[in-house]
Amino acid sequence: MIIHRILTPERTLDGVHGASKKKILQFIAQRISNEAPEINAKELFEALVARERLGTTGLGNGVAIPHCRCKACPKPIGLFIRLAQPVDFDAVDREPVDLVFALIVPEGENQEHLEILQALAERFHSKPLLQKMRSVPEAGSLYKFIVGNS
């Protein structure tokens, strides 16, 4: 799956404030629920938290990819956030996170879920690419950069 199929300009956000991993997960759940009203924000938040309990989605290098399956999700949905200030996300390298790509997929989409996660992990593994993502001036340019190079 190519990133442009799951991410939209409206779901590419810059300068988001979040005091903690929990607050960021709440923000993600609410933002996705606002755009896809069939998805209950509280249930989505609980699913994201349950996934984090299995192991951190903080990949290292300032990147986290929180993800979960959701019964009410009609199709894979991505949300990219560049945080105003890095936060502790229990990342594997113990460094704070400032780039967050949330992925919500329909409950039965196991193979597609894994394929998208693999593509995202590969995409957000390149340090030069991450530096560029951090230096792009605003959300519109950030979206174009993320999907244009996917």
Domain with 103 in it: 3-148
Distance between alpha carbon 1 and the CA centroid of its chain, in Å? 15
SS3 68: strand
User: Which pLDDT belongs to residue 1?
Assistant: 46
Please tell me the pTM assigned to this model: 0.92
Mean pLDDT per segment of 10 residues, for the chain of length 150 residues? 84 94 97 95 97 94 94 93 96 96 87 79 84 87 75
Instruction: Supply the pLDDT for residue 144.
Output: 84
Q: CB count, 10 Å around CB of 114?
A: 11
The catalytic residue positions are 67
pLDDT of 150: 43
Q: Are 87 and 62 in contact (CB under 8 A)?
A: no
Supply the CATH number for residue 22's domain: 3.40.930.10
**How many distinct structural domains can be found in the chain?**
1
Given a contact cutoff of 8 angstroms between Cβ atoms, the answer to whether 61 and 98 are in contact is no
Q: How far is CA 65 from CA 20, 102, 111, in A?
A: 15, 5, 17
pLDDT of amino acid 138: 83
Q: What is the pLDDT of residue 149?
A: 52
Question: What pLDDT was estimated at residue 9?
Answer: 93
